[in-house]
Chain A
């Protein structure tokens, strides 16, 4: 001592320094917690904010019309946006470098002298294969490859044109050659190619090359259609063909059976459709009208079990007739182009028109999405070529798709659906958060039903009625339950308890119903016992009576479950549920989760409310007892109201825990994102959904951000619960607990 503090002054200084430092450390700790919570919140917001961002474009290239005097019929760009090509109506293909605008390669389609291309169509969303139709009745199919070559100086794009096949349409007489006026073409993943075109007589033809059997088919569809055709589109899987007519009728042909083309549906539009096009997924058709209207239609199962095309989404109209529609190969985006040169970008699932622009004051002759849908290219009537960078990271999420009902392709009506990923890129992701929010609340509700009464009654018993010695043992025992990892509870509930629950469902039901009944009977008998004998049992021994009553009830339930099942439920409860109430029984259902999750929150609710009840000053209960109130009257009228703030806080804490709990709901629910109050169904909670899907979600993708947004919702929800709990708790404390 004496060596350290030479004088009292030194000692003072040392104490002050220690004070100062401890104050700093404590302050840092306090602020640290606030900062870390705020930064978690900010991080969640930062990750989910891009979802709210709309689409935007900026022009990266505009090349004036100095290249060719012939009109451009087709255009395209490589995936890296380095090289684009143009095909003019004389069959000349020119490749340009995007950066230097220099012509890097020129190629020629095998056209005869004076032969002109009247129409051209791309046949695949992922590769550059196209067919041109000429004024001499020829269909020339070619493909373009723009392959990156890695050299010392860096990456260059090597462009190649391959001739795939040629076909000559039959001519009636030699003087008037067969013109291919308008053409559509697809090559599906099997290599099967389908062409459909209108010739100069207005006839609609269908030619199929079946790659598997190497056979060709040719059909004249005009026999089934009467009227002038305005537009038509083949689905990318080569199974459907829709044809729009001048009389506003639209025909839907099923061409999946090449031997037998079938007319599946016919419906009438409000306007003449000058442009129709199948969207990605081959279900929905975008239709652009002469009046400028844009709508998406897809087949919906009718009550008669027939598929009928229905108008599902309607978009912002153009001011002029729409003559072209281009679809994205990545998502449900499509472009509509009107005759005045206006271009609009729409997204089918959301029904949203995302943006609108006008490349020039001339009509657009050709346009396309880049292969990765990250750019739009447009060639206008003055042969000016423009390339726009398209920034549209999350077109599938709007407030409406996250929280509202959406009519998805193949669904009979608008629904809340969570189905984030499918088998292929063509899958339409369904990202409604409502089933997840519902699941979270369902799980929480069942857990609270189970845990709140148990925990609070236990707290009342332990703090007010149990003998001190017993209370001293019960409390730590229940608190140890809190130390049980939730993954263990989830594992036991999901793999052990739920099959057991299913097997002994009737026994458990009977037990739950009979236990209170047997208790009442036991209490009745107890009251009949003379007081002298009652007094011989020490206080707290009643716990020992609970066990035999429980066992008796269990034995009773186990021996009568079959009888009850026979009498009330036709021998099998699960089947009875299904046949009479149309309720399916799932092994991992909400009741099991209610028990398991309840088990996890009981310790919290118990501990906090037990403390609250124990903290009610003895003077209050003494006063009540001294006024002749019984123990129960004292508890009910004095102790519980005084502890109500704490009990409320306990319930809210339990609620917060149940909402955020992940492992139990993950393992014991089956994770089915359905909206159904049926207690025998599973559900998918927000927390479990994040845990299940985040490993598979591509970083920065829509699913990834939606999951972060779900996390943000959870955060906000627990924040609200906690704030409410402290606000209401404070009020209750002010009212009842100023002692």
Chain B
């Protein structure tokens, strides 16, 4: 039995045991890799994440994600790459029973700090999902959705934002004449680029991509990759991918994760040619996966 602050006695659960006051952040633990010469945008400190008390999904994650670079998360299925990605815009908050320990900082600010507006965080950290998920609305409405819910109502301003976002998403030429058509009439690849444009319309700083090309054909994948290449000039991109060639092609840094642990983070070139860890090498060379 433990006594809570409100004086109610509760059965001490496993969760309470995990969340004892002793689970403080251990400042002495260094990140697996600190890229000192880069500006750091996202930083996690001894991040542990639990889907519930019995499902420990992320273990002691310490990672730095540099500004205006593409960072790829690779690793076998179920290793926690997507979970880590979703920590950055607090999408995991939607899962009841899930909780975490440790800190996540964006631009040095704890995103769980009291008074943080979730809406502002998610405007700052955009996200593209594995399966394209355009809204059942027109193309224009899809792209304008983010700015609209964030309080922009001026039609001209919205038009400008939509055009610029679609241009950045490399979709403008294809859809400019049918902005009022349903987004669901677009092809799979176009839909995914629309989702990217939709995220860009919010003018985010960071774009999280959760296997954005895994459901697409090679040509569409190529287009997405080109788009990412173009976008990294202005945005910090974190991408989860199953496809190691894709990681090698588009990312500047690669993080290898396994069983909820961050094994190695380094320059992509280094990871793919000369990894430090034996596990990384085994995975890269296809000994397991």
Interface of A toward B, CB cutoff 8 Å: 467-468, 531-532, 536, 617, 619-620, 622-630, 633, 637-638, 641-642, 735-739
Q: In the complex, are the beta carbons of B135 and A620 less than 8 A apart?
A: yes
| CB contact under 8 A between A623 and B129, given known A628-B123, A628-B146, A629-B145 | yes
Known contacts A468-B96, A536-B6; A619/B131 CB under 8 A: yes
Is A531 touching B123 in the complex (CB atoms < 8 A)?
no
- Measured as residues with beta carbon below 8 angstroms from the partner, the interface class of chain B is 20 to 34
The 8 A CB mask of B79-102 against A (1 = contact, 0 = none) is 000000000010100101000000
Q: Are B91 and A625 in contact (CB under 8 A)?
A: yes
B150 x A625 contact (CB < 8 A): no
Q: Report the bound CA distance from A738 to B186 in whole Å.
A: 12
Are the CB atoms of A532 and B114 closer together than 8 Å? yes
Q: Which one of A617, A622, A628, A638 has the greatest number of beta carbons of chain B within 10 Å?
A: A628
Chain B residues with CB under 8 A of A624: 135, 145, 149
Q: Which residues of B contact A468 (CB under 8 A)?
A: 96
| Complex contacts, A739 vs chain B, CB 8 Å | 133, 136, 184
Contact A625 B122 (CB under 8 A): yes
Residues of A within 8 A of B5 (CB): 536
- Chain A residues within 8 Å of B45, by CB: none
Q: Of the candidates B89, B115, B136, which one forms a contact with A626 in the assembled complex, judged by CB atoms under 8 Å apart? A: B89
The answer to whether A628 touches B129, judged by C-beta atoms less than 8 angstroms apart, is: no
Please pick, from B115, B129, B133, B137, the residue contacting A531 in the complex, using a CB distance under 8 A. Answer: B115
Set of chain B residues within 8 Å of A628, measured between Cβ atoms:
119-123, 146, 149-150, 202
**12 new A-B pairs (CB below 8 Å) besides A625-B122, A641-B137?**
A468-B96, A619-B129, A624-B135, A626-B127, A627-B202, A628-B119, A628-B121, A628-B149, A629-B145, A637-B145, A736-B136, A738-B136
Among A622, A735, A737, the residue within 8 A (CB) of B133 is A622
B residues contacting A by CB (< 8 A) are 5-6, 89, 91, 94, 96, 114-115, 119-123, 126-127, 129, 131, 133-137, 145-146, 149-150, 182, 184, 195, 198-199, 202
Q: Contact at A623–B120, with CB atoms within 8 Å?
A: no
Tell me whether A467 and B119 are in contact (CB under 8 A): no
Hey, which chain A residues are within 8 Å of B89, CB to CB? 626
Which of A467, A622, A735 contacts B91, CB < 8 Å? A622
Q: Which residues of B contact A619 (CB under 8 A)?
A: 129, 131, 133
**Which residue among A536, A625, A738, A739 has the maximum number of chain B CB atoms within 10 Å of its CB?**
A625
| Secondary structure call for the A interface | helix
Cα distance, A623 to B208, chains bound together (Å) = 12
The residue in chain A whose Cβ has the minimal distance to the Cβ of B201 is A627
When the two chains form the complex, which single residue of B115, B129, B149 contacts A629, counting CB atoms closer than 8 Å? Answer: B149
Q: How far is the CA of A571 from the CA of B96 in the complex (A)?
A: 54
- A627 near B94 with CB under 8 A, answer no
Q: Which 8 A-B pairs have the closest CB atoms?
A: A628-B123, A627-B146, A629-B149, A619-B133, A626-B127, A628-B122, A736-B136, A628-B119
> Are A641 and B150 also in contact (CB < 8 A) when A619-B129, A619-B131 are?
no
Among B115, B135, B150, which residue has the most Cβ atoms of chain A within 10 A?
B135
Name the residue among A468, A532, A623 with the largest chain B CB count within 10 angstroms: A623
A623 touching B195 by the CB < 8 A rule? yes
Residues of A within 8 A of B135 (CB): 620, 623-624, 638, 642
Contacts of A625 in B (CB 8 A): 91, 94, 122
The answer to whether A531 touches B114, judged by C-beta atoms less than 8 angstroms apart, is yes
